Amino acid sequence: MDIERNKDNFREMFRKKDFMALKEEMSVLPSQDVAEILNQMEAKESLIAFRLLPKDKAADVFSYLSDKIRAAFSKMIEEDELKSLIEDLFFDDKIDFLEEMPANVVKKILKGTPESERRLINQFLQYPEHSAGSIMTIEFVDLKADMTVEEALSHIRYTAPKKETIYTCYVIDNQRHLLGTVSLKDLVVAEPNQKIDDLMDKHIIAVKTDDDREYVASLFKKYDLLSMPVVDRENRLVGIITIDDVVDVLEQENTEDIQRMGGIRPSEESYFNQSPFTMAKNRLLWLFALMVSATFTGRIIQRYEELLQTMVILAAFIPMLMDTGGNAGSQSSTMVIRGLALGEIKSRDALKVMWKELVVSIIVGISLAGLNFLRLIAIEKVNYAIAFVVSTTLIVVVVLAKVVGGLLPLLAKMVKIDPAIMASPLITTIVDAMALISYFKIAGIFLKI
């Protein structure tokens, strides 16, 4: 689907005030595409188009709108209209919306909500931000073990319109303890008088409400799940997590990691929805910290100023050594951070990682040093002593950079810091300092200066 073409069509219809054509165009587009186009329009135009949608599709589109557009809508539309929209959302989408809204908007919405639902919403809003409880929904099908298949299917038919998913049903007792799961497929092909107790799978993969959502995502990937039950400490079923929410979690976590690896404070807003001031603020702190930390490399150069004055040519190779070291360290940190995210590497694997990176770095370092030595002799026409010093330093720098790049994310994990923080910017600064010290020490030893 060509979103840009549809967006241009929308604007053309607005210019001509051809709202009937606009309404017809939106009726045939998937809700996700309509929301994507509305997200890119001015808030007032977006609201006009949104109000042309039929009620059932409007609620679906609303769940896919950006926080910025939904916040704008909440200020521009009447309170009753907003409440009607919220009521038609699935419970987990409702919670996601309320979490992003100002307190005064939340109070207005909750004011007319039944007491039982209000208590439930408040309970969900109190779950930690990155926990399983914060992304679960209560809209699932529960069955009793003593039901027959016929009774279960009848129950599903009656309750299905209000449920987010019906493909996996959850078997509970009278105290809501989770006993097992049964798929809709198994129910459809089973005999009508067969008991649920005989069909259900008692080997349950479940998470606790306070489990981290990244851990939840790893279980979905490992077991190829479409949904997963969430239980409390007494093994009572309190909700389920569906695959669409896990996809959102993976996108958010990957975005945060990429931003942190680039030395940027994480933000959930898209690139074009952030103001220049906000973007500058998110980048400024890390840049300032790295700028200050870079003064250490300047002091190292000042300390060896006499050596550089004696043999000025040494200064020409400093950028190459520092850049190679920074790149080598970033390669290792990227691989280890990815391994940690996928669960392939654990904190206890520090010695294994160090050994592997050491072997890799020696192979890479010697290869680069050999090529660099030939380049300096054949192309740069540098004397053998200088070429030997630079190439030997290159081996040392690559080894140090790769070992440090591999171990720093593990260290961060051990002290409960996001490993992505230990990525390119910080590693580059550390490796730069080590590269300079190694270079000048080696030069002093072999060149006798």
Report pLDDT digits (tens) over 288-347. Answer: 766 776 777 778 888 877 777 777 888 889 889 988 998 898 889 888 888 887 778 888
* Spatial separation of the C-alpha atoms in residues 211 and 335, rounded to whole Å: 25
Distances (CA, A) of 224 to 130, 136, 187, 227, 396: 21, 18, 20, 9, 44
pLDDT: is 257 or 217 the higher one? 217
Reported confidence tier of residue 287, pLDDT bands at 50, 70, 90: confident
- HSE of 312, CA atoms in CB hemisphere, 13 A: 1
Check pLDDT > 90 for residue 262: no
Superfamily in which the 294-447 domain is placed by CATH = SLC41 divalent cation transporters, integral membrane domain (1.10.357.20)
Top-level class of domain 3-126: mainly alpha
Check pLDDT > 70 for residue 110: no
Residues of the chain with CATH 1.10.357.20: 294-447
Check pLDDT > 80 for residue 112: no
Closest CA to 77 of 122, 108, 38: 108
Q: Which tokens is 325 given?
A: 């070291």
Residue pair 296/303 in contact by the 8 Å Cβ criterion = no
pLDDT: is 282 or 49 the higher one? 49
Average confidence (pLDDT) over 392-407: 93
Residue pair 187/199 in contact by the 8 Å Cβ criterion = yes
Closest CA to 293 of 250, 252, 263: 263
Reported confidence tier of residue 83, pLDDT bands at 50, 70, 90: confident
Average confidence (pLDDT) over 47-64: 84
Q: Does domain 142-242 have CATH number 3.10.580.10?
A: yes
Average confidence (pLDDT) over 85-93: 74
> Residue 168 pairs with which residues in a beta bridge?
183
3-state secondary structure of 425: helix
Enter the pTM of the model.
0.61
Residue pair 261/254 in contact by the 8 Å Cβ criterion = no
- Sheet with 227-231: list strands edge to edge: 207-208, 227-231, 237-242
* Spatial separation of the C-alpha atoms in residues 128 and 386, rounded to whole Å: 58
Query: What sign results for the dihedral spanned by CA atoms 288, 290, 294, 296?
Result: positive
Average confidence (pLDDT) over 98-110: 67
Residue corresponding to tokens 């440090």: 404
Number of CB atoms found within 10 A of residue 185's CB: 10
Quote the DSSP letter at residue 198: H
Residues of the chain with CATH 1.25.60.10: 3-126
Q: For residue 144, what pLDDT is reported? A: 94
Check pLDDT > 60 for residue 428: yes
Query: What kind and span of H or E run contains 270?
Result: none
The DSSP annotation for 282-339 comes to: HHHHHHHHHHHHTHHHHHHHHHTHHHHHH-GGGGGGHHHHHHHHHHHHHHHHHHHHHH
Closest CA to 285 of 269, 266, 268, 264: 264
Average confidence (pLDDT) over 391-404: 94
Report pLDDT digits (tens) over 169-220. Answer: 999 999 999 999 999 999 999 999 999 999 999 999 999 999 998 889 889 9
Reported confidence tier of residue 151, pLDDT bands at 50, 70, 90: very high
Check pLDDT > 80 for residue 282: no
Residues of the chain with CATH 3.10.580.10: 142-242
Q: What are residue 236's phi and psi, to 5 degrees?
A: -90, 135
The fraction of the chain above a pLDDT of 90, given in percent, is 29
